[in-house]
Amino acid sequence: MTRLFGTDGVRGLANGDLTAELALALATSAATVLRGNHTRPTAVIGRDPRPSGEFLEAAVAAGLARAGVEVFRIGIVPTPAVALLVKEYNSCLGVMISASHNPMPDNGIKFFAAGGSKLTDEQEDAIEAGLSQDSALPTGDAIGRIVDDPAAAQKYLDHIVSTIPADLSGLKVVVDCANGSASVLAPQALRALGAEVIVLNDALDGWHINDNCGSTHPQALQAAVLANGADAGIAHDGDADRCLAVDAQGKLIDGDQIMGILAIAMKQAGTLVKNTLVATVMSNIGLSIALKQAGIELVETNVGDRYVLEQMRAGGYCLGGEQSGHVVMSDYSTTGDGILTALHLLSQVKSTGKPLADLAQVVQPLPQILINVSGVDKSKLASSQDIAEAVAAAQAELGGSGRVLLRPSGTEPVIRVMVEAATDEIAKSVAQALASQVEAVLAL
């Protein structure tokens, strides 16, 4: 049986895979699993602006309330705002309704436990198991109430702005909000710190979230940075837990480079705990090389910011993230926060007086090709001897000058084929050949 939870909650086609009935049941089960010893537990619900988020929010709120949980609806906010307010309100759980960087027809449900932390595998399994169990529900004055909290977004904004020690005056920044949760708060945060801000894709109707914009489609942002003579560009995804950047020459700065900039700056400031950065196996070899030269240790995890967070908590580390732009700064947030990351990245530009392009030079990525192979049975990847042999042959071809990584996506029905090599041509050739083999062996 396929596991319901992926690498970041439950995600699928809204009103198809992810129905109101499923959302109701998930919320009720989550309340049972996560309520702890609270006699009158509370929960926080936020969402991105997808139209389907409206009925899913209603279903989740109903599921929590019928399980005896008091519900605070905080409206359209970034995912990290939910995590922050779960901790701030001493709630037993939080729910973010978003499919992150996925297209508009999809939606998802992300859960946070007490303290604003993402769930463990065991907690997710318990919630999923609870879907098939009938439990007695409270009645009378034991049911929960549902209230709106219009001040929540401002509390989150005040928090992230307060983490920047100086202003960003003198910087001209273009921010692409992906027509998602960043649309109001990202420009407000930048302006509150004195930056001159040009805004792209800030519609809140939800119909065009992530549609040829944001962190998965940065081309318009790159053009806008050049056209406006901006110092930098910032790209978020639909729920604003990602941040990618663009330098003044229009060149994309990915999550590996952002983590490298922040890690080295924090080491110099004496704030990088144990001089260690946590990143996933998808991070480019160039990041590892840069960190080694700077005297910083790299700890690698499986793909998914939840695994980064688990390793950070286990080791007491304060900085981690993913190449995709999920960056976790645990001194200020319990999860990846795209707006917070942007503020701290731009703060480095301001405090050092160096252009973003110069700062990004600390990480020199090796050419990397990523191919998504669809139409295959990704559940058979781990058990396929033919694919294992193909991977070994590809790695042998690259020798010590590159690497190969195959993994099933936790959020999409594809297998990701990633190859790093000394040149683009070699990486592309090896990746395409391997992707073809995956398609032939594992075709549905």
Q: Which residues are catalytic?
A: 100
Residue type, 260: G
CA distance 375 to 290: 37
What is the spatial distance between Cα 195 and Cα 208, in angstroms, rounded to a whole number? 27
Burial 22-46 (b: 16+ CB within 10 A, else e): bbbbbbbbbbbbbbeebeebbbbbb
Query: Pseudo-torsion of CA 419, 420, 426, 427, nearest 10°?
Result: 40
Judge contact between 218 and 197, C-beta under 8 A: no
Structure tokens at 334: 């319990």
Q: Are strands 327-329 and 319-321 parallel, antiparallel or unpaired?
A: antiparallel
Structure tokens at 98: 């978003």
Q: Taken in order 397, 286, 437, 442, is the CA torsion positive or negative?
A: positive
Question: d(Cα 441, Cα 264) in Å, to the nearest integer?
Answer: 43
In angstroms, the CA 84 to CA 158 distance is 12
Structure tokens at 73: 């609806």
Rounded to whole angstroms, how far apart are CA atoms 219 and 212?
8
Instruction: Give me 410's structure tokens.
Output: 């936790």
The rounded distance, in Å, linking the Cα atoms of 13 and 255 is 27
